């Protein structure tokens, strides 16, 4: 089974379309949350992902954009984008977001999906220090997570602890990097952000998990970032949300 693992799409339809075109054939799609917020196409991304996704986990932006929780704690730019998104979403898509379950959600016998930490949906796992407890306490060998917009993973096998950050050679082509996930090893894996990467690489990030060979492949794919920026400006969303896309920050 090939699972396409997507997180933090954030209303970026241009990035999402490039990812789906590059992903090739897949059997299931797991959406790790923050499908909306920031980008100019919240309805379109929901309507693209909804028929394909077999697992959906809510993110903090999903929760605020559909009015389940307030934007308190969001910076002013994120709050403004959440307000705009809530006004723009169709009633049906708002309803779909409101019904989205909190992670972690079981995807297979070996895999669960979460937005933040498997121990708390809003916790960020940035460092091994953050990963330490979740790796030991999570209820599956592998948990796919999002939330930080940083592609990579943390693993544990007995006394061996490792951090994996895919390091790419280029920045304007499609690149893929494999990571083995052998049984008996525990992994927290972040496919990176489709719609707003924050690791200095502007290309859309995603991952494919193949359970027959127990391997995760990380991808970066160029997309029409100018079109995404133009749509954000047309929607009169904050300029920073457009400019940051070409910086990957």
* Residues at the interface with Zn ion (CB under 5 A): 8, 34
Q: Which residue is nearest to Zn ion (CB)?
A: 34
Strands 142-144 and 111-113, bridge-based pairing: parallel
Q: How far is the CB of 11 from Zn ion (least distance, A)?
A: 11
- The number of C-alpha atoms within 13 Å of 177 and in the hemisphere containing its C-beta is 15
Task: Report the alpha-carbon distance of residue 236 to residue 33 in Å, rounded.
Answer: 24
- Please return the burial class of 21, using the count of CB atoms within 10 Å of its CB with bins 0-12, 13-18 and 19+: exposed
Q: Which is nearer to Zn ion, 8 or 201 (CB)?
A: 8
Q: Which is nearer to Zn ion, 155 or 193 (CB)?
A: 193
Cα radius of gyration rounded to whole Å, the chain? 17
User: Which stretches does DSSP call E strand in 41-129?
Assistant: 53-56, 105-106, 111-113
Q: Which is nearer to Zn ion, 34 or 199 (CB)?
A: 34
Computed from CA positions of residues 124, 127, 128, 129, in that sequence, does the dihedral angle turn out positive or negative? negative
Q: How far is the CB of 165 from Zn ion (least distance, A)?
A: 18
Q: How far is the CB of 9 from Zn ion (least distance, A)?
A: 9
Q: Which is nearer to Zn ion, 11 or 153 (CB)?
A: 11
Q: Which is nearer to Zn ion, 80 or 210 (CB)?
A: 80
Q: How far is the CB of 239 from Zn ion (least distance, A)?
A: 19
Q: How far is the CB of 222 from Zn ion (least distance, A)?
A: 21
The residue written with tokens 């061996």 in the block is 160
Selection from 245, 207, 249, 168 nearest residue 13 by Cα: 245
């Amino acid at each position: 089974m090939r699972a396409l693992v997507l997180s933090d799409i954030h209303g970026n339809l241009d990035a999402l379309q490039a990812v789906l075109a590059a992903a090739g054939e897949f059997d299931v799609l797991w959406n790790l949350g923050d499908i909306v917020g920031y980008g100019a196409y919240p309805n379109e991304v929901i309507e693209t992902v909804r028929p394909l996704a077999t697992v959906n986990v809510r993110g903090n932006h999903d929760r605020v954009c559909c009015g389940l929780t307030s934007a308190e704690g969001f910076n002013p730019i994120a709050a403004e984008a959440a307000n705009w998104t809530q006004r723009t979403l169709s009633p049906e898509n708002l309803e779909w977001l409101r019904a989205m379950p909190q992670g972690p959600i079981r995807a297979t016998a070996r895999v669960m999906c979460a937005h933040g930490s498997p121990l708390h949906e809003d916790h960020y796992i940035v460092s091994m220090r953050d990963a330490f407890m979740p790796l030991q306490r999570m209820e599956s060998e592998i948990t796919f997570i999002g939330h930080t917009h940083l592609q990579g993973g943390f693993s544990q096998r007995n006394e061996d602890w490792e951090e994996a950050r895919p390091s790419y050679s280029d920045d304007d082509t499609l690149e893929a990097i494999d990571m083995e996930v052998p049984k008996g090893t525990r992994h927290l894996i972040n496919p990176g952000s489709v719609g707003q990467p924050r690791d200095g690489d502007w290309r859309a990030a995603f991952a494919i998990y193949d359970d027959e060979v127990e391997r995760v492949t990380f991808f970066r794919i160029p997309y029409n970032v100018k079109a995404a920026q133009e749509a954000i400006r047309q929607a009169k969303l904050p300029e920073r949300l457009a400019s940051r896309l070409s910086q990957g920050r």
